[in-house]
Structure 1
Amino acid sequence: MRGIGWATGLLGLVFLFGAQAVADTNYQDYLSALPESIQGMERTGDPEGVNRKGADQDWSAVEQSYADDKGREAKLTILAGTQTSAYKQYKKMSRVHMENPEKLIKSLEVSGYDGVMDLDKTGNEGTVALFLGPETLVVLEAEAVTGPDELQTLAEDLPLEAINGQTP
């Protein structure tokens, strides 16, 4: 997915710099919670995951890509572990509301979970990050979305209760 690289880059920082953690996490615990499809977009490829454990780190991440024949693409990422760098960054963003002709950043609620939406109106792509608790972050990046309503609808199709049920 070409245009939503900043969010992917942010998640890459999580892999490099880790988290301040105490939880016992394993990305394999989340594999069964990954949906087969999101609003008609089917899984593409196998999920990728990582567990990071060390003296002051204990976090996991799993990613799954989705696409359909209409050119829509999405990537679902689940991050689990105490206060990962990405969690902190999205938490800060959730306190911002900004809109101009090119961009929309706003807080939102999906299925009872707080989160933040970051929509690039000119590129028709966006990200929704949802806080499932103090240790779990779900990030949905999507391309070829027509606006904030479609991006929110995609997020509403996620099995958030199943994902949250996997949190240690």
Structure 2
Amino acid sequence: MPSFDIVSEVDIQEVRNAVDQAKREVSTRFDFKGTKCSFEQNDAEITLKGEQEFQLNQMMDILRQKLVKRKVDLACMDIKDPESSLNAAIQKVVIRQGIESDTARKMVKMVKGAKLKVQAQIQGDQVRVTGKNRDDLQQVIALFKNADFDLPLQYINFRD
């Protein structure tokens, strides 16, 4: 029986490379000279530190540009609200990996609502779709490409 998996994965090494490039750009830009602005990455969490909130906005733009150049989908970013104090501003960005259970349930419900001859089941942080016909599986892929789940989806492990 043909099947494939729907996943939401991000290459963390590419994210790390983008953060390193953003660090280099902040260290060389004239408008950041003499400021205490920095990027820190801890696994899938990036922390932006600056002296004022407008600097965080500029740093976020730099980070987005670098992620796009590295072909990382920006929909995987969960941007938290900035926290400001007297001389410091901090903002956290979490890189989302995997499909959350609520979103996976919506996906399964969407497949069942399409009345296609396929079965969808949740397997951890991914959704497996199986069916008798390869064309039905391709219709499921087309269905998900038109849907908006606010996260990047990849279709892997296609087996015939």
Same fold per TM (> 0.5)? Answer: no
TM-score (norm 2): 0.26
The structure whose residues are more often strand, as a share, is: 1
**More helix by proportion, 1 or 2?**
2
Greater relative contact order structure (CA < 8 Å, 6+ sep): 2
- Structure with the greater alpha carbon radius of gyration: 2
